[in-house]
Every structure is written in structure tokens, then in C-alpha cells.
Chain A
């Protein structure tokens, strides 16, 4: 993972991901909130963002099941956890609450930071603090 080629790939993919978020409208918190507000004037766009993303990623993951390594020789690092436990559901639920509070999730938060939105700095700093806190107080077994 420390080969220069891998690091360059990570940077370029990060840019592509960020551009995708901007095109999709995910970098506009008001649009995200309009999707989450089913009782108001509902904007279903974000369902199509997810559909478009999964439509491309699903065959890419499916095709990789027949191989052990990717194009540059890196082994496919399949997530090993499969359990659906309290920790997962509580974490997911809390994340949803925070997402609904501002319409910002981790990827768009970084894009907003790059766009120079001042509140994004607070969001990202607090998000890192929250992650750090869980790692200290309630580390995964």
C-alpha cells in the first residue's frame, strides 16, 4: 500500500470521488436535507445517486470475485466482518442522526472543506474527535 503507484492512485480516485459528489449534488447540504425530508417537498435525486453508484460498482465487485489480485497486483482486501450486532446498528443509527442534523456526511464534509465553507472545518474537526473518542472509549474487539 506504500508503493508510490498506490498512493497516486488513492489521490486520483479521491479527486474523482469528490467530483462525483459535486456533480451529484451531494456537496449541497440543502439538497441532501431535501432528500431526507420525505414529509416536505421531497427531492428524490439522491436515490438516483445511490442507484448510479451501485450500478457501476456492483459489476466491478462481482467481476473481482474470480480473481485474487487487482490490476496493479494488490490483493483484494475483502471486509471480513459479517456480524449484524448492536454496535453496528447503534453506530448506523447515530450516524443517521448526525447526517440528518446538517445534511453532511464524511465525504461531502471534506469537499465542503476544500470549497472553503467555514462550518465544514468545525464539522470535520468534531467528526475526527468523535472517531477518536470511540477508538479510546469503546474500541472494536
Chain B
């Protein structure tokens, strides 16, 4: 293992993480809801009674980069994947988060923060296959 010190951004990571944690804490204390993005967004598909609540949260996420741009240019976004590859990745993510009842926010942040063994199990499983998948794509399969 070699650490990429040039691209390592500890302070931005901690600050951004703290903002994410603050958002999760505020949603909990203001509305009593877990800030699980896949659950809040995915729930929209079933036309639930709280659709406006879910839609507002979703639109807030989409609006964040637009608001950012009013004050500063967005940090670099590097995405080399093709449209077809992104379709495939999105489909696998959608199936996975629905089956597993959560993603990085619901299990990884909120679940771990409330010390849920179930969320820890989910987080360990997606971290493990995330590492394995990148290894296979970059090093394992003739990468």
C-alpha cells in the first residue's frame, strides 16, 4: 500500500464530513428522520404521503452545486466513465441499496453513528465489495 500524499486532503475531508454529520444531526433533531439518501429518494417511487418532504430533500441535494456556483467555481469533478457504464453502475447501486435498505449515508453515517450492528454489517459488506471491485477493475482483470 502506498499513500497518495499529494491528493490526500485531510482538512477538507474532515470539514466536509463534519458538514455531512451536521446535516444528519439536523434532519434528526428537526424532523425525526434518518438522513438516508437512498431511502428518502427511493421512497418517492411509491408516491408516499410524505412525498413533498422527500422531494424537498432531494432537490436540496441537487441544488447544492448550483448554489455553490453562485459564490465560487465548483471543485474539480473527474469522471471518465461512459454513459453506458454509468447506467450499469446506477442500476447495480439501485438494486443494492433497495435490497440492503440503505447506502453510505443511511448505514455508513447515520447507522454507525447510532451504533447499529445491522448498519455496521451493511457498511462492512459494501466497503468490502467496493474495495474488491476497484481492485478487479484496476489491477485484477488485466488493469
Question: Interface residues, chain A, CB within 8 Å of chain B?
Answer: 1-2, 6-31, 33-34, 36-58, 60-61, 64, 69-72, 74-79, 81-84, 87-107, 109-115, 117-120, 122-135, 138, 140
What is the CB-to-nearest-CB distance from B138 to chain A, in angstroms, rounded to a whole number? 6
Q: A56-B24, A57-B21 known; 16 other A-B pairs, CB under 8 Å? A: A13-B27, A13-B31, A14-B61, A17-B19, A21-B20, A25-B75, A57-B28, A72-B30, A88-B122, A91-B122, A95-B126, A96-B131, A106-B104, A122-B86, A129-B94, A134-B98
Q: Is the CB of A99 within 8 A of B130?
A: yes
B-side contacts of A133, CB under 8 Å: 94-95
The answer, among B28, B50, B103, B122, for a CB contact under 8 Å with A70, is B28
Q: Is B92 an interface residue (CB 8 A)?
A: yes
A105 to B34 alpha-carbon distance, docked (Å): 17
B-side contacts of A45, CB under 8 Å: 7-10, 12-13
A22 to B14 alpha-carbon distance, docked (Å): 12
Q: Is the CB of B122 within 8 A of A100?
A: no
A12 to B110 alpha-carbon distance, docked (Å): 18
Q: Is the CB of B4 within 8 A of A119?
A: no
What is the CB-to-nearest-CB distance from B90 to chain A, in angstroms, rounded to a whole number? 3
Which residue of A has the minimal Cβ distance to B81?
A: A102
Q: Is the CB of A127 within 8 A of B15?
A: no
The answer, among A17, A71, A130, A134, for a CB contact under 8 Å with B35, is A17
Q: Is the CB of B62 within 8 A of A111?
A: yes
Q: Is B141 an interface residue (CB 8 A)?
A: no
Which residue of B has the minimal Cβ distance to A99?
A: B130
The answer, among B10, B16, B101, B110, for a CB contact under 8 Å with A23, is B16
B-side contacts of A105, CB under 8 Å: 93, 103-105
A26 to B59 alpha-carbon distance, docked (Å): 18
What is the CB-to-nearest-CB distance from B141 to chain A, in angstroms, rounded to a whole number? 12
Contact with A along B60-96 (1 / 0, CB 8 A): 1111111110000011111111111111111111111
A-side contacts of B94, CB under 8 Å: 98, 126-134
A73 to B15 alpha-carbon distance, docked (Å): 30
What is the CB-to-nearest-CB distance from B61 to chain A, in angstroms, rounded to a whole number? 4
Contact with A along B104-143 (1 / 0, CB 8 A): 1101111111111110011111111111111101110000
Which residue of A has the minimal Cβ distance to B82?
A: A119
- In the complex, 15 of the A-B residue pairs with CB atoms within 8 angstroms, ordered by the A residue number, are A1-B31, A23-B15, A36-B134, A52-B13, A84-B118, A95-B126, A100-B129, A103-B79, A105-B103, A106-B97, A107-B104, A111-B65, A122-B84, A130-B91, A131-B42
